[in-house]
Structure 1
Amino acid sequence: MTAGLVISAPASGVGKTTLTLALARAWRNRGLNVQCFKSGPDYIDPAFHAVATGRASVNVDSWAMDRTTIAHLVSRGTDADVVLAEGSMGLFDGVAARGASGTGATADIAEMLGWPVVLVIDPSGQAQTAAAIAAGLRDYRAGVRLAGVVLNRVASSRHEDLVRRALLEADIAVFGALPRHAEISLPKRHLGLVQAEEQAEIGSLIDEAARFVSEHVDVDAVLRAAADWSPQPAANGLNVTPPGQRIALARDAAFSFVYPHMLEAWRAAGAEISTFSPLADEAPDASADVCWLPGGYPELHAGQLAANARFRSGLLAFAETGPVHGECGGYMVLGAGLTDAEGVRHEMTGLLGLETSFARRRMHLGYRLATLAAPMPGHQAGARLRGHEFHYSTILAQPDTPLAVVHDATGAVIAETGSRRGHATGTFFHLIAEDR
Structure 2
Amino acid sequence: MSLQPTHDPVGAPACALVDVDAIAANVRALRDRSPGAALLAVVKADGYGHGLLPAARAAQAGGATWLGTAQQSEALALRDAGVTGRIFTWLHVPGTDFGAALQRDIDVSASGSWDLDAVAAAARTTGRTARVHLKVDSGLGRNGAFGSDFVDLVAQGRRLEGEGLVSVVGVWSHFAYADEPDHPTVRAQREVFEAAVRTVEAAGCALEVRHLANSAATLTNPAVHYDLVRPGIAVYGLSPVPRLGGPEAYGLVPAMTLRAHLALVKRVPAGQGVSYGHAYSTPADTVLALVPVGYADGIPRNATNVGPVSVDGRRNVVAGRVCMDQFVVDLGPDSQARAGDEVVLFGGDPSGPSAQDWAEATGTISYEIVTRIGPRVPRVLVGTAGREAGSTAGSTAGSTAPAPGVVAPGVVASGVVA
TM-score tier, shorter chain, comes to 0.3 to 0.5
Higher strand share: 1
Which of the pair has the greater relative contact order for Cα pairs under 8 Å at 6+ separation? 2
Bigger Rg over Cα: 2
Normalising by structure 2, we get a TM-score of 0.34
Normalising by structure 1, we get a TM-score of 0.33
